[in-house]
Structure formats: C-alpha cells, structure tokens
Structure 1
C-alpha cells in the first residue's frame, strides 16, 4: 500500500501534482515562519544572558567574599540611540572583572563596544567623546554585548568618586539573568521582550493553521470519492488510511524540507530585524536541536493524523461519501469566545494590572481569544449573510449562492478566514498607534520646542508638603557661558524652586487632575530668549511657570498659557534659589543638541540624563513598544499568509466546484450565472465577516486605550480606509480573475462518474 500511495501521489496526473505542489508550498511557508520565530526566541534568550551583567548593580544582596567592585550603571542618548554607561572602581586586586574585558579599566581609562568605538571615531569629541574621561583602553568583547549595534562603555574611576554616587553599589559577582524590574538600569525589559516573541509564536498558529488546513483540504471531495471507489473494489479501511497517510506525509515532508530551506535562505535578512531594541548577532539566530527535530518530525505526523481523521466517513462505509447530508448549521454560541475576549478588555478598564509583564500577559491572552473568537464565529456570521441573501432572491445566482453557503458556511468562511484575521489585526494596531500618536506625540504647534534640552533634578516630592526634593544650587557662570556659546543654542532658562507657594498655571482642571503642584519660578529675561515657551507679562522680572517643561509638547497647545503670571520676586533673589530644571533651547540640529547634552552630562554626572522635549515624548510611549512589535509581527505575517491562503482557497474552490457546476450547466444554467455564484460565495463571507472583524479590532483598541491611558480611540486617517478598500478590491479582483476558468473546468466530460 505504501508503494501504491507513493505512485498515486507522485504519478497521479496533473491534478495530483498540482495538489502536491500547493500543499508543499503552504507547509513550507508556515514552517519557515515558525522556524524564524523559534530562532528569534533562541536569540532573545542568548541576548538576555549577554547583557544581564549590566544589571548587577540592581541586586538586593551580594556575596560577601572577595574585594567588592564599585558599580554604577546609567543610560544616556546620542541622536536617539541609547548608550549604556557603566562606571567601575576596584577596591582591591580581587575585584571582579566584567565579562568581555581583559581587565578592569584604571581611572582615566574606558572600554567601548565596537559600535560605540566607531561612533566615537566619526563624531566630534564635543558631541560625544568628551563625556568619557581619559582614553580608550580597548574594545568590549562580544560576550558582554547584546548585539552588534550595542552602544556600551565601561569607565574606570577612583573608589572615592563612585562612593559619592547615590546610584553606585558594591558588587562581588555579576548577574547571569536580568531582574524583572530595575528603575535605574540602562537597557531592556528582557521578560517583556521574550513574552512578546512567545506571543508572536502563538499568534502565528492561527494564520498558519488556516493556511495548512486549507491546503490539506484541497480537492478533499474528489479524494473521498476516489477512496470510496477503492473501498467498493475491495480495499480495506487500513489500506485506505495508509494511502491517505502516504499522500499527506509526502507533501508535508517536501514542505518541511522547503521550509527549512526558506529559513536558511532568509537567515541573513532575519538578522537585520530589530526585535528587542538592538539587532541580533547572526550566529545567535540558531535553532535548538530539539526544536528543529520537533518541527521536522511533528508537522508530518500532525498532517498524517489529520489525513486519517478526514477519511472517517470512508472508513465507516464505502457509501458514506455518497450518502451526504447537510451538516447541522452553526449556532449562536459561536459568538461566546469573541464576546469573552472583548469582555477581558472591558473588565480591565479601571482595573489595570500593576506590572508591565502582567499587562502584556493579560492583553495578549485577550487578543488571542478575540482572534480565536473571530475564527469560531465566522461560519455563523456567514450563515446569517447567506440566509439574508437567500430571502431576498431576485436572481438564480443569489438563490444558488445562498443555498450553497447555507449548506456549508464553514467552507465558505474558510476560504476568506486568513484575510479576515489580517484585517482585524491591522485595524486594531493602526487604531491603537494612530490614537497614541495623536494624544502623546509632539503637536505641530509645539514643534518649535521639540529640540529643547531638559535636565531634571527633581525625582521625588515630599509626601507631606509636596515640595520638590534634591534641587541643587544654580549652575556656575562658566557652565551657563559654555552653553550659550554653542552654535545653535537659542537660550537657557533655569526653573527655580518656589518659596512663594504659587501654583502651577499649566496644571489644568483640579477636578480632573487633583490639587495642583507648586509652580516653578523663571527669569523673564531668560524666557524671552526661548521661542515657543510662552512669555511674561510686560514689566515683570520673574514669572510662575510650570515646574517642568517636559510636557509642553503634549496634546492641544491651548492647554498651556500664552503668558505666564508674574511672580513677586526680584531677579537677584531668584538667582540664589535652587534649580529644579535646566532648559536649553536649540535649533534642533544634532550638533547643537549633542554638544549641549555633553556639557550638561559633565556638569551634572549624577543627575537624570538630559533629554530633549521630543525625546521625552518618545520615551513616554516606550511602554507601547512591545505591543507595537507584536502588532507589526502578527500583521505582516497575517497579511503574507492571507494572500497565500486566498490563492490556495481559489485553487481548491475551483477543484471542488467542477462536478456540481458541470451538472448545473447540463441542466441549462448559463455560464454567467455560475460566475456570479462563485463571486457571491466569496464576497458575502468576506465582506460580512470583515466588517465584524474591523469593528472588533477598533473596539478592542478602544477598550485597551481607555484602560491604559484613559482616552478613547480616534478614527484613523483617510489612508487607512483607502488601504482597506483597495485590499478588499484586490481580493475580489483576484477572485474574479478565476472566473474565465469555469468554462474549461465545467464541461460535460467533468460530470461523469469516476
């Protein structure tokens, strides 16, 4: 039987060859995508282990043995790129050496990663190199770097210098895994990133299963009839199962082999994709032997099992195929999973989980439940559309299409399910990011202040008085002169603490935001040099301003006063007050911004890293990065597989329609009517379920935004509707392009009994 099965599969004519090629191609695409995601998971785990040492200073307890090493990790930026700076100071010969270094840097030395070394070579010292004291002693080795683009520097200092650093700790060993939380760490949330990629694997299951399931059902009716005929001439159920298993296994094995070939062919391109904030080393994108073996053996086994299950009617009786009855129609209970997924989103409005990892877990589970709910509810929605179409019969095409969809709504929806899933995911992610950009992005009216550099000194307020804690004295005159002398700097404003008790004039409605904080105080002379930061009333020496200008680019520019209220304090008294923020207005050029940043970092090494208003707005939305990565991965994969699914469904649909449509033509039905039937059978489930899927995507995005950010979703721009309309139009055009083939495949010879 195995030999016969191989012969039927490999030498069974054009139809068998076409079926073999389509199934193998579908499996190859799914396996290739699955292998790529598994490799990315392996690379993420490897990357996590490589940068864990950077988090060593966050450990709550350290072993007591050996000479401790003073250790302080901070982050800073250069032209939007994150730089991790690690300051170290040995207390004795036994102090531990970080991975990737031959020795500890002495005071006045530093080690830099290869990417940072190249940047230091290409960028003027005033913009970057002057931030690191001394000279470069060498490069950081690969064992300490998350990826080839990592910008990391290890700076050697004296123990007495780091002892004054409030963030410095003494360590005697380096971590091998990063902590779940670390407020002062300069890198990534490894747990969240790994979870995002695991979610991508789970999300891939839906479109891949739709594609492979659609391919394996290609010409299923014809195969059942052929196997039933073999039963009638004496073949046993075991023999039929063996032949079916051989057919499915051969196609799947070929597809698995091609999938591995696709993975290795596109491996160099995969290494260029940024999943976690920095690219992977190409060698890290390797498959674990167990994973490769599981995919290589598991996919053919699952295909063989599916083939045996699909032939249950043939095994029961050789006449089971011909004694067909209309299956029970889908019931309304199929809406329950979809409602449950949306219910999870709704439940957490006002009950948001505390940690980022918990939020990702909750909303990922809800998203997957919604996707599964659409797949489960699709046949029932298709049935509703078919019954509605059949009730309003005005032509034979409507009657035939409506009855065919009513008899088998699962098959009707299956053909377009990939496109429906892609539309749901794309609609939700686009609505999400459109709203966040509109609410949290720097508006056009405030773009003039986007290049202003901010240095904050206030990280907390007194629990009782609400007054800022930790404000330093005003900067030396030399620092202010150096800042104002930089080409591209428009002005420098110092925001002082406020002994007057005046309140923040930009606070907004206290009923919505609570009692306002104290205002900051600023010199009107300084504000006059800062376009876009509002002005003082005529004749005023000082003004009560916002305690920080980091939110000046938010939302509606009308929320900020155009004229700050005057403050009853002299210029001389103001100049003696501590400073809670330094604001340096620039022309937005990289040269000016980075020179200003270097001066401020050297003047205040223990302060929070300086950032521009634009950079702060970007960092505020950083918690959305992982959700965006998930949306991007699933959207792209879903769209790719959706297109392939449509092609497979068209090929399968033509094969399945051969005999019934040939019989209809013999009874006198015109070819034009059959063409309209084919178009209606695809268009009705596509349009009806797509409308539900798009609405579901928008509703899920709205519930998520109300839970996370307390604002509702905004309608996307015209471009979204154009893209959706064009996509649906192209899909219908592809379906219509197959209509001319009906004449050739529905001739009288096709209606004969095999």
Structure 2
C-alpha cells in the first residue's frame, strides 16, 4: 500500500501534482519560519556569551590575585556616536603576563588602541573632530569577531599607562577576563535579558506550530470530496480501513517530507537576511543562527508526523464504511466540552499570578503550557462557537441567503471554522504579543521629550569620578572653540548648589544653579520667575517632570544665592541645532574636559538606552505578526477554494433549479464571514486575557490599551481576509455551470 500511495501522490495527474505542490509549499513556509525562531533562541544565547568579557572587573573572581598572572588595569565606559552605543575599555598592562581578552593579540600600550571593524570603518570616513579625536594615539589593529556581540558593534580598547589608570576611582585591577554568560552572572550589567528572550521566543515557536499545522490540514483537504470518493471505491472493492489510512497518510507525508526539506533550504537561504534583523537591539553574525541536533531532529520528525496526523483527521470519514462518503449524513454537533482546554489554559496562567517560578526553565514551562492550552482550546472551541452563532443567524434570518448560510453552518460548523482557524490563531498570537509589549512600554518608558531633550548635550562632572587629587574643571577649562562649532546655539554652565531646595526638588543634591541671564539665552530650557537673578535647576536643565510638560514651560524656583563665580562647575549644557555633525563635534570637545568621566549625552539618548529592551520586544512582536498573518491568509484562501471545489455539484444543481448566482455568492460569503468575525472577536478577547495574565504573573503590570498600530493591523487583516473571500466568489460561475452537474 505504501508503493501505491507513493504512485498516487506523485503520478496522480494534475490534481495530485497541484495538491502536492501546495502542501509542500505550506510545509516549507512553516518549517522555515519555525527553524528561524529556533535559531533565534540559539543566537541570543551565543550573542550573550560575547558580551561576557565586557563585564570584566565586576565579577569578584576576575580581580582575585593569581600566581603567574600580571594584573591589568581595566576601566569600561559607555560612549555614543550618532545614536549608537560605543563601548570603550581603557586598559594598562603591569607586566607581560597580563590577561588579554579574545579578539586582540595583546593589550595595547599607551597611545595605541584596537577598534572593532564597524568603528574602524567610521574612523576612516568620519571627520576626526567628530569621533577620532576621542581616542589618543594610533590604531594598531582590529578587534576580532570572537569579542564582538554583533558585526555592527562599536568597541574600542584604548591603551593607557598603569600610573594613569591607577588614579581613576572606577578602574579595577583584573587578573582574568570574564567568560561567564551574563544571564548567569549576578553582578553583570552588560548583556541581554536572556530569560525574557528565551521565554518569549519559546512561546513564539509554539505559536507558529499551530498556523503551520492548520495550513497543512487545509491544504491536505484540497479536492477532499473527489479523494474521498476514490478511497470509498477502494473500500467497496475490498480495501480495509487501515489500508485507506496508509494511502491518505503516505500522500500527505510525501508532501510534508518534501516541504520539510525545502523548509531547511528556505531557512539557510534566508539566514544571512535574518541575521540583519536586530530584534535584540543588535544584528547577528550568520553563524550565530545555528540549529542544534535536537532542533533538527524535532523539526525533521515532528513536521511530517504532524502532517500525517492532519491528513488522517482530515480524511477520517472514509474509514467508517465503504458508503460513508455517499451517505453524507449530518455530522454530530460539537459539544460544550470543547471549551475545557481554553478554560484550563486560562486557569493555568492565572495560577502563576503571584507565584512566578524562580528559574528560566520554570517560567518557560509555565507560560508555554498556558499559551499552548489556550491556543488548542481556541481551535477546539471554535466549531462550538460557530454552531451557536449559526443557529442564532438562522433563527433571525430575514433573507434566503442568510437562512441557507445559517443552516449550513449549524449542520457542519467544523468545516466552516476550519476555513478561518489559521487567521483566528494568528489574531490570538498577535493580540497577546501586542498587549504584553504595549503594556510593558507604557509601564517602563518615559516620555521621549522634545527638541531640547534630543538636541542638547550635557557634560556632568561627578566628584566621585575625579582622579585622586584632581580638582573639578572650571569655566576656564571649557574648550575655547566650543561656541564656534557650527550648529551650536548656546553654551550654558550650571554651578553646584550646597543648599537644600524645597520647591519641587525631591533630591537636594540634584539641583544646581544658573544665572537668569544665561538661561534667557536658551528659552527652550524654561524661565526664571519675575525678579529672580539665580534659579535652582537640574544639571541637564531638564530633570524629571510631569508627562506632557515641556522644558520650555518650566519656571525654575528662585535661589537666594547671588555669587556664582565662586561655585564649582556642576555641568556644561550645550544647545545645538540637532545635526549629527554638531552634536558629535560637541561631544568630542566636551570629552577633553574630563577624559575618564561620564561621556556627554542628551536626555533623549539616556531615555533611548533605558528603553532598549522595549525596542527589542517590539521587534519580537513584529516577528510574530509578520510570521503568522501570511500563513493564516494562505490558509484562508486555500480553504475557501477547497470548499468551493468540493461543493460545485450541489451548487450546480441549485443553479439549474433557478437559484441566482448572486444568492449563491451571498451564501458562500456569509458561511465564511460569520465564523471569521465571531471567532476573531473571541480570539482577540482571549489574547488580551492571556497578555494580562502574563503581565501580572511575570512583571506585576496591568494591561494597558493597545496602540493605533495594533488596531490598524487587525482591521487591515480582517479587511484583507474579507477581500480574499470576495476574490474567490467569481469561481462560482466557472465551476457551477450545467456541464458540472451533468459530468458529476
């Protein structure tokens, strides 16, 4: 029977060939997306390991004295260039046996530095006064890939003398380079939130399986009526139910195996492009997107096995009896027990609210099980919901088309829901992801600020960061050419305030002082009250404020201090026109005032750094949406076409009896649109509930309203689905002519 099944699959005429191609394409698309998701999980872990060495000096064991090892002074800081993070590590070897990080042959000496490939290219294309002047000396080499989290990483290792770094309060003597995964390092501050990425990507992988299997099952049912008749004829001549099952399974398994192999080809062909997607905030090396042996085995075995099960379920009717096809008895209506898995999934997620597992594996299992149960429950409950709504439509029908559609839906809700099940699953996944991420952004993100927050740079001088015995910079130390830089609009100095400020200042050490005469030169930072000469301000002239209130609307509290010349410099704030060239030239000049201090930055750049994780998870949501909707749309199109093809004879008979083609189109449209809209509403509600429970359990956050982008995506998806349905209706005229009834 296996040989016969293979012949029917590959040599069964144009119809069999078309079915084979469609199923193989469906499996290839789903397999490629699933492999990409699994590879993404592996890539985040690999990328995180290459962040490890940047945490050297933080973990205690890297500073433990070791025999035969010469300590090295180590100071790591963060800088910026045109919106990108730039990591700088100042090092100084105390002997020939000093520890050396991967990617460079030896520690650079004073006046030398190593640059990452991306930074190396910038240093040769960007004017020195914007970037190169920040690094003293000459470049002696390029940092290798082993030390780079991403091909686009901007990193520099700058050599200093031991005497210079020994006076810096935040420099550490290290005897080893850290190699521990940041996800498992308690004190590490540089790296990815590997736990959240693993949990999220695991849920995505599970979510993608459902649309793929639905698509396979839908494609398997192409020309199902004709195949059922063929299998029934075989039963009448003596074929057993088991033999028929083998034939149906072999046909679908052949297509699934071919599609799985093509899916691996799709993944490897798309891998270079996938590596360019910075969904962790940084791009990947293509070699990061690898598949483990377990991944390969699970997909290579699981997808064909799932296709075989889908085929068996899709064509199970011919196993009942040789006359099971011709009887066409109304199937039993679905029962309310189908709601149990959906309720169980909700209960499972609700259980972990306030009981979040401690480990990553525990969290992954907890949320994965709940998500899978809700997805499976949604698919199982769909036919029951469709039946209930169909009966309501039939009872209240005012037109023949609505009555016929309602009756047909109520008689076979399984077939009606099958056409829209892929899109329903996609809506659930999209809603849950968007709800969780939108709420995360609302809870964690600060307002983006306005023009001065994005265009002004602040160089703050922290006493605790000064070298031993060093005095803080004075106004005389401000670079003479700073005001002359093209694009600079104002240079303002903020002095230290040693008095507690009571008006709107929660932190007495935070505010500084500025003269009203200086502040008047930059009205975008606020104003003084009438009669004041000096006001208390935050060091960046922005500080914390209520959402919706711009710095220009701020009226700073007056100070009793009148003499500012004797006050130490707290910060220098430079207002620019917002151009990249102006900001980078200012940043480079300000860095010379305090070479080992905190690099100058704008308020908007600080916000961007703090919301990097939000950007990463938003990209994950985009991946879910872009992966799910195409599969669901293809599934809907194939399902509608398959339904029309299987019912062309009864439709042809109806046309012969005088039923107009317009009414038949209305019937087909209602049969697909009613379950689509009803179950879509349930899927959206279930997705919001899943997101709310996940947020409460994992982060203790409430669910916030979704943004306009979500509603546009959902509305566009539903409109596109209705468009797909409408696009298939012209087929009715072609397939329901008199010759169809005569030939059938």
TM-score by length of 2: 0.86
For 2:543 and 2:700, locate their aligned partners in 1 and report how far apart those are by CA, in whole Å. 15
For 2:592 and 2:664, locate their aligned partners in 1 and report how far apart those are by CA, in whole Å. 78
Residue 97 (structure 1) aligns with: 100
Residue 661 (structure 1) shift: 3.4
Q: Say if 1:271 and 1:280, in contact at 8 Å, map to a contact too.
A: yes
Residue 502 (structure 1) aligns with: 501
Spell out, residue by residue over 1:624-649, the C-alpha distance to the aligned partner (whole angstroms, 9 max, x if none). Answer: 12321220110110122122112221
Corresponding position: 1:124 with 2:124: no
Residue 302 (structure 1) aligns with: 306
Corresponding position: 1:541 with 2:533: yes
For 1:658 and 1:415, locate their aligned partners in 2 and report how far apart those are by CA, in whole Å. 17
Pick one of 509, 517, 523 that aligns with 2:515.
Answer: 523
Corresponding position: 1:567 with 2:572: no
Residue 214 (structure 2) aligns with: 210
Which segment drifts farther, 406-415 or 328-337? 328-337
Residue 213 (structure 1) shift: 2.6
Pick one of 323, 326, 333 that aligns with 2:331.
Answer: 326
For 1:301 and 1:428, locate their aligned partners in 2 and report how far apart those are by CA, in whole Å. 28
Residue 524 (structure 2) aligns with: 532
Residue 641 (structure 1) aligns with: 631
Residue 660 (structure 1) shift: 4.2
Residue 76 (structure 1) aligns with: 79
Q: Say if 2:48 and 2:182, in contact at 8 Å, map to a contact too.
A: no
Residue 466 (structure 1) aligns with: none
Q: Say if 1:504 and 1:520, in contact at 8 Å, map to a contact too.
A: no
CA separation of 1:332 and 1:298: change in aligned 2, threshold 3 A: closer
Q: Say if 1:428 and 1:701, in contact at 8 Å, map to a contact too.
A: yes
Residue 177 (structure 2) aligns with: 174
Residue 467 (structure 1) aligns with: none
Which segment drifts farther, 246-255 or 685-694? 685-694
Q: Say if 1:199 and 1:364, in contact at 8 Å, map to a contact too.
A: yes
Q: Secondary structure at the match of 2:56?
A: helix
Q: Say if 1:450 and 1:553, in contact at 8 Å, map to a contact too.
A: no
Q: Say if 1:112 and 1:138, in contact at 8 Å, map to a contact too.
A: yes
For 1:472 and 1:688, locate their aligned partners in 2 and report how far apart those are by CA, in whole Å. 71
Q: Secondary structure at the match of 2:85?
A: strand
Which segment drifts farther, 106-115 or 620-629? 620-629
Corresponding position: 1:733 with 2:723: yes
Spell out, residue by residue over 1:537-568, the C-alpha distance to the aligned partner (whole angstroms, 9 max, x if none). Answer: 24422112346545568621169853212111
Q: Secondary structure at the match of 1:611?
A: coil
CA separation of 1:362 and 1:495: change in aligned 2, threshold 3 A: farther
Which segment drifts farther, 363-372 or 35-44? 363-372
Q: Say if 2:525 and 2:551, in contact at 8 Å, map to a contact too.
A: no
Q: Say if 1:415 and 1:646, in contact at 8 Å, map to a contact too.
A: yes
Residue 285 (structure 1) aligns with: 289
Spell out, residue by residue over 1:667-719, the C-alpha distance to the aligned partner (whole angstroms, 9 max, x if none). Answer: 664433322111001111122223344455566667888996978745644x7
Q: Secondary structure at the match of 1:648?
A: helix
Pick one of 561, 567, 571 that aligns with 1:576.
Answer: 567
Pick one of 233, 236, 239 that aligns with 2:240.
Answer: 236
Q: Say if 2:496 and 2:513, in contact at 8 Å, map to a contact too.
A: yes
Which segment drifts farther, 137-146 or 413-422? 413-422
For 1:482 and 1:585, locate their aligned partners in 2 and report how far apart those are by CA, in whole Å. 15
- Aligned alpha-carbon RMSD (Å): 3.9
CA separation of 1:623 and 1:720: change in aligned 2, threshold 3 A: closer
Residue 30 (structure 2) aligns with: 30
Residue 174 (structure 1) shift: 2.6
Q: Say if 2:665 and 2:729, in contact at 8 Å, map to a contact too.
A: yes
For 1:622 and 1:366, locate their aligned partners in 2 and report how far apart those are by CA, in whole Å. 28
For 1:594 and 1:357, locate their aligned partners in 2 and report how far apart those are by CA, in whole Å. 44
Corresponding position: 1:487 with 2:477: no
Residue 525 (structure 1) shift: 3.0
Q: Secondary structure at the match of 2:139?
A: strand
Corresponding position: 1:689 with 2:679: yes
TM-score by length of 1: 0.85
Q: Say if 1:542 and 1:567, in contact at 8 Å, map to a contact too.
A: yes
For 1:144 and 1:722, locate their aligned partners in 2 and report how far apart those are by CA, in whole Å. 42
Would you say how many aligned residue pairs link Structure 1 and Structure 2? 733
Residue 512 (structure 1) aligns with: none
Q: Secondary structure at the match of 1:557?
A: coil
Residue 463 (structure 1) aligns with: none
For 1:688 and 1:473, locate their aligned partners in 2 and report how far apart those are by CA, in whole Å. 68
Residue 594 (structure 1) aligns with: 584
Flag structure 2 segments of 5+ consecutive residues without an equivalent.
465-469
Residue 8 (structure 2) aligns with: 8
CA separation of 1:620 and 1:277: change in aligned 2, threshold 3 A: closer
Pick one of 415, 428, 435 that aligns with 2:419.
Answer: 415
Q: Say if 2:49 and 2:182, in contact at 8 Å, map to a contact too.
A: no
Which segment drifts farther, 307-316 or 1-10? 307-316
Q: Say if 1:248 and 1:303, in contact at 8 Å, map to a contact too.
A: yes
CA separation of 1:388 and 1:456: change in aligned 2, threshold 3 A: farther
CA separation of 1:520 and 1:646: change in aligned 2, threshold 3 A: same
For 2:251 and 2:561, locate their aligned partners in 1 and report how far apart those are by CA, in whole Å. 89
For 2:552 and 2:356, locate their aligned partners in 1 and report how far apart those are by CA, in whole Å. 29
Corresponding position: 1:618 with 2:608: yes
Residue 467 (structure 2) aligns with: none
CA separation of 1:720 and 1:750: change in aligned 2, threshold 3 A: same
Corresponding position: 1:20 with 2:20: yes
Q: Say if 1:196 and 1:629, in contact at 8 Å, map to a contact too.
A: no
Residue 145 (structure 2) aligns with: 142
Corresponding position: 1:393 with 2:397: yes
Residue 453 (structure 1) aligns with: 457
Which segment drifts farther, 323-332 or 363-372? 363-372
Q: Say if 2:31 and 2:260, in contact at 8 Å, map to a contact too.
A: yes
Spell out, residue by residue over 1:212-247, the C-alpha distance to the aligned partner (whole angstroms, 9 max, x if none). Answer: 232233344443343232122111233223222221
For 1:28 and 1:85, locate their aligned partners in 2 and report how far apart those are by CA, in whole Å. 44
For 1:164 and 1:196, locate their aligned partners in 2 and report how far apart those are by CA, in whole Å. 44
Which segment drifts farther, 109-118 or 533-542? 533-542
Q: Say if 1:52 and 1:177, in contact at 8 Å, map to a contact too.
A: yes
Q: Say if 1:506 and 1:561, in contact at 8 Å, map to a contact too.
A: no
Which segment drifts farther, 587-596 or 279-288? 279-288
For 1:382 and 1:516, locate their aligned partners in 2 and report how far apart those are by CA, in whole Å. 63
CA separation of 1:656 and 1:454: change in aligned 2, threshold 3 A: farther
Q: Secondary structure at the match of 2:636?
A: helix
For 2:125 and 2:654, locate their aligned partners in 1 and report how far apart those are by CA, in whole Å. 74
Q: Say if 2:460 and 2:539, in contact at 8 Å, map to a contact too.
A: no
CA separation of 1:551 and 1:332: change in aligned 2, threshold 3 A: farther
Flag structure 1 segments of 5+ consecutive residues without an equivalent.
461-470, 508-514
Q: Say if 1:431 and 1:715, in contact at 8 Å, map to a contact too.
A: yes
For 1:753 and 1:311, locate their aligned partners in 2 and report how far apart those are by CA, in whole Å. 24
